[in-house]
Structure 1
């Protein structure tokens, strides 16, 4: 037995000392808090050898924390959130959440499917937003799998019954968060149904590459490789048209500071959203493999976030409605422009715009949305 322990210790020491050899990414389970009815909310922390860690909680299957180093190796949490359940339950802000059944907006909460009219719950002016009054972000998901290894992961599941928030079909959804040694967080959202329905699941993490609560993101530089947006009406519902970004504040084809054009009062679209809150057209259809849909770099910290997805659309939101009344995990308030959100998805209100494609999911089919976040720095990190 003593020889066995010596062998194990020798192996661990070699793994730490030999370049290119790394320990497995760890996964640690704990209890984050409780729901009002007493149900326990699990948390799973995934952590690699490079200081990158993500904590996922079962309430809303959400990112509660994501820690990553800057160019000098200093660690900071770059995802907005709370330290306790009280914060998440006090105000619905979608911090880190899995949003669905239908991410983004559906006009007046209505759509027709196979000749039948459906009415969803209304929670955003006249419209339904992120699944309605009780979307996936408000549910306690079940942790069904936790794995360690070269890539550690946690899988959470939720069953949404037929008629939930007005949606047809019993939908079974899973979300898997995976973290490896390459500083890549992958989110795989999948769903099946027993009746034809519509699905559009995404992630709503608020990011600040200088650290949550550190102040504005307006100097952080954003690139979105999209030639068009889907302009919206006064209630932020797409008009059904496509508009070129050329010569507008929405042109991020070459990286620029988020705040460079955000105060352009000539843009009615910026006035409607009180800043950026728009769908960019990455393509008209889903791609075969994940491709770069956004890149953000902080000149101050050197952190770089690259986002990959197969989805045709990307909703970019510049934290316009953070109003200084939220005190986050850092003990600092979150104010307007203190974070950004990037949501790969199909286009908003797709069920009511045939030219946008289809949001339908039928029995026997599998909905999937893979979202890949790659973290690096401008010094010592990959820049490809």
Structure 2
């Protein structure tokens, strides 16, 4: 186990966590951004499996949220408003009339306090941030801790914890774009995804939830037995069309499986599993990723990565019977997501 720390030209701290197998995770204190994850293919070749900018300073804007912690509320909040305990809260709009991923002053664009740690079989970084009452329009002083832990089982464990002094809205996730082909050799269209989800949330033309849940049966959204991402890209289903020919949808997990998601890439032999105590996930197939961003290995293009944003549902602020994002003043927010990398 090893941890290396360097200062970037921007003055940020850049951490490199390496386990006993050579797997490496790199991250910044700025936005808690994961910049690189190196894992072996079936031949033992270590390659990067996430999208990241070639130039570190490009993360300062980061319109695609590459690798970042997103919050206070990850996802879209309709009309950038919500009501809570008789009050109406107006948030910063940053996607048309709507509020996306915590707004322009969200967690993805703050420098987090960091504390690296190391044990016999783990290495990691604890990140903390104090968000003041009214920041971005949200009520409450919120103290948040996100801990990245790398184990010798090739697990990347993300632990999220938060408290607030006023009841508020909060659901935090990580916005890494995964590509298991290695060093962005291919798009993710042939990634084979299995997901423990019976329902997904219908979207309108602005990608805002309508309040309706759709049974995945007999649709390109049925990943229970596994299917390629290309199925949704090539689909004529109205919901795939709305997402610009792909997926940008919230899937509600069924509670029968501990392992919620499994992703396989046949050429490299890499496999990633996702375990979480979150109630659902946004699966986003980078349908809005524009060409021309200079990434570490190549320029960006549509379908180059897939995000698995485990979280509760922002739709719960406007519709009933969705996983709630409300955190009470006397509660502690505690969530965990584990990404494990294996070889087939």
The answer to whether the superposition gives a TM-score over 0.5 is yes
Cα deviation, 1:269-315, whole Å, max 9, x if unaligned, reads: 111111110011104xxx7x992121110001000000011111111
Return the alpha-carbon distance in structure 2 between the equivalents of residues 358 and 63 of structure 1. Answer: 27
Is structure 2 residue 293 aligned with structure 1 residue 326?
yes
Is structure 2 residue 171 aligned with structure 1 residue 200?
yes
Cα deviation, 1:1-45, whole Å, max 9, x if unaligned, reads: xxxxxxxxxxxxxxxxxxxxxxxx2222221331xxxxx211121
- C-alpha displacement of 1:134: 1.8
Return the alpha-carbon distance in structure 2 between the equivalents of residues 28 and 159 of structure 1. Answer: 26
SS at match of 2:314: coil
Return the alpha-carbon distance in structure 1 between the equivalents of residues 32 and 276 of structure 2. Answer: 19
Is structure 2 residue 270 aligned with structure 1 residue 299?
no
Q: Which residue of 2 aligns with 1:372?
A: 338
**1:1-384 correspondence to structure 2 within 5 Å:** 25-34=1-10, 40-265=11-236, 267-274=237-244, 275-283=246-254, 291-330=258-297, 332-378=298-344
Return the alpha-carbon distance in structure 2 between the equivalents of residues 80 and 87 of structure 1. Answer: 13
Contact 1:290 1:309 in 2 (8 A): no
- C-alpha displacement of 1:334: 1.5
Between Structure 1 and Structure 2, which shows a larger proportion of strand residues? 2
SS at match of 2:59: helix
Return the alpha-carbon distance in structure 2 between the equivalents of residues 264 and 169 of structure 1. Answer: 43
Return the alpha-carbon distance in structure 1 between the equivalents of residues 172 and 282 of structure 2. Answer: 12
Return the alpha-carbon distance in structure 2 between the equivalents of residues 158 and 315 of structure 1. Answer: 24
Query: CA RMSD, aligned part only?
Result: 1.5
- C-alpha displacement of 1:357: 3.8
Return the alpha-carbon distance in structure 1 between the equivalents of residues 168 and 220 of structure 2. Answer: 36
Contact 2:196 2:257 in 1 (8 A): no
Structure 1 segments unaligned to the other structure (5+ residues): 1-24, 35-39, 379-384
How many residues are matched? 343
Return the alpha-carbon distance in structure 1 between the equivalents of residues 45 and 174 of structure 2. Answer: 26
Contact 1:32 1:57 in 2 (8 A): no
Cα deviation, 1:65-121, whole Å, max 9, x if unaligned, reads: 100000000010111112433221244211110000000011001111111000001
The 1:63–1:293 alpha-carbon spacing in structure 2 relative to 1, beyond 3 Å, is same
Return the alpha-carbon distance in structure 2 between the equivalents of residues 374 and 164 of structure 1. Answer: 34
Return the alpha-carbon distance in structure 1 between the equivalents of residues 116 and 132 of structure 2. Answer: 22
Structure 2 segments unaligned to the other structure (5+ residues): none
SS at match of 2:241: helix
What is the TM-score with the length of structure 1 in the denominator? Answer: 0.86
Contact 1:126 1:235 in 2 (8 A): no
SS at match of 2:321: helix
Q: Which residue of 2 aligns with 1:20?
A: none
